[in-house]
Amino acid sequence: MFNKTNETKVLRDPVHGYIHVKYQVIWDCINAKEFQRLHRIHQLGGDFQIYHTAEHSRFSHSLGVYEITRRMCEEVDAISATLSEYEKIQVLCAALLHDLGHGPFSHFFETLHKKHHEQMTCDLILDPETEIHQALIKEDESLPQNIVLILTHKHSKPLMYQMISSQLDADRMDYLLRDAYETGTSYGNFDLERILRTLRVKNDSLCVKLSGMHSVEDYIMARYHMYWQVYLHPDAKSYEIMIQQFFKRYSKIRNIDVFEPLMNGSLSNKEFYLMDEHRMFYGFQEALNSEDVILKDFANRILNRHLFEWIEDPTKQQIMEIKKKLEQQDFNLDYYYYEVVSHSKAYLPYTENDENQIIWMLNSKNELISLSSSSQIVKALLKMKNQTNKCIYFPKEII
């Protein structure tokens, strides 16, 4: 009924062995230009500046999320039995396309672009002009709308969005494994096979058999470690600050063509398609010729990894000294001094504040209980005290 490819197509993938594609609509989406564009957006933004092999793109990650979702659909009996073939196709498409709206240097880009990447993803899927939209409607007219319902958590079957966006979802599972593989750290590893084997559905919700509890604990710890060792690394933050300060300055100068569309608020879908990292870096190269010393300096810092140095939890004395040195050496503090305050609680790998964000376990009496009430480790984690950390950033040259 639904169009299949001639034979199952396979794409070699170091994390999953192979990505398996048997629906024509999935194959067509992969070949759509908006999806191909994801090859031109790093998965981890500037983290390749810290972990030099973290050079993988959102293209690979998107295929990985699709593959885990496919295995959920085919190998988890409870899911396979709950969803119709059409619903499976919807959720597979949603998995594949969930990151379509990401710009370069992801979260920073959103502040410039003033549109969340989730919204952008939906816009691209719904726009009749995009190749993605055309690939989808070739299979079914209502597919774009249904995918958007999943991506916006409005679908009538919560299971369908839980599979790709919840506390235990294909998205996080792929990126932890993939980022660990690509950075060469072991921290992100957990037992995907066992989690898949213990997934169940109860009251239309995704849950995990109690015998899979240790795998889930391990997954939570993988998140914890990846946050602290990779995603929140101060040098990664430092690189992000370089880009942020560059555009803070640029907004006063406005002399580089490729950046201009970004300055006008919202991009059209066509402009967005072009706005990849190649274009951004070409822009930074152009800025090397700028007459503005500050803009030129930040372009050089971005291109050649002259990151700001940082001090965690500085004393007042230290802050004063740093500022003094900056002034003595004629650094403009608006650009060359930066403070970040973070709350450890905010980076907890898991919380149960919100009903929708609980990982549910299925106990031997076939009842749903929260992860924290079955795992002593997780319960302990939730009681962690909040800590507020300040970190200051400044040019290395002054010391």
**Interface residues with a second copy (CB under 8 A)?**
10-15, 17-18, 31, 33, 36-37, 39-40, 48, 51-53, 55-57, 59-60, 63, 181-187, 189-191, 193, 197, 214, 217-218, 221, 224-225, 228-229, 258, 274, 276-279, 281-282, 285, 300, 303-305, 344, 376-377, 379-381, 383-385, 387
Q: Are 312 and 236 in contact (CB under 8 A)?
A: no
* 55 versus 85: smaller Cβ distance to a second copy: 55
Q: In the complex, what is the shortest distance from the CB of residue 13 to a second copy, in angstroms, rounded to a whole number?
A: 6
Q: In the complex, what is the shortest distance from the CB of residue 58 to a second copy, in angstroms, rounded to a whole number?
A: 11
CA torsion through residues 52, 281, 308, 345, sign: negative
Q: In the complex, what is the shortest distance from the CB of residue 19 to a second copy, in angstroms, rounded to a whole number?
A: 8
Q: Please choose, from the candidates 173, 163, 164, 174, the residue with its C-alpha nearest in 3D space to the C-alpha of residue 205.
A: 163
Q: Per DSSP, what are the bridge partners of residue 391?
A: 312, 340
Tally of residues, the chain: 399
* 248 versus 379: smaller Cβ distance to a second copy: 379
* 10 versus 320: smaller Cβ distance to a second copy: 10
Q: In the complex, what is the shortest distance from the CB of residue 133 to a second copy, in angstroms, rounded to a whole number?
A: 15
Q: In the complex, what is the shortest distance from the CB of residue 163 to a second copy, in angstroms, rounded to a whole number?
A: 21
Q: Are 133 and 34 in contact (CB under 8 A)?
A: no
The single-letter code of the amino acid at 17 is: G
* 218 versus 321: smaller Cβ distance to a second copy: 218
Q: In the complex, what is the shortest distance from the CB of residue 296 to a second copy, in angstroms, rounded to a whole number?
A: 13
164: left (phi over 0), alpha (psi -120 to 50) or beta: alpha
- How far apart are the two ends of the chain, measured CA to CA in Å? 68
Q: In the complex, what is the shortest distance from the CB of residue 156 to a second copy, in angstroms, rounded to a whole number?
A: 30
* 31 versus 357: smaller Cβ distance to a second copy: 31
* 9 versus 157: smaller Cβ distance to a second copy: 9
Q: Is 154 exposed, middle or buried (0-12, 13-18, 19+ CB in 10 A)?
A: exposed
Cα separation, 1 vs 9, whole angstroms: 18
* 152 versus 285: smaller Cβ distance to a second copy: 285
How many alpha carbons fall within 13 Å on the CB side of residue 71?
A: 21
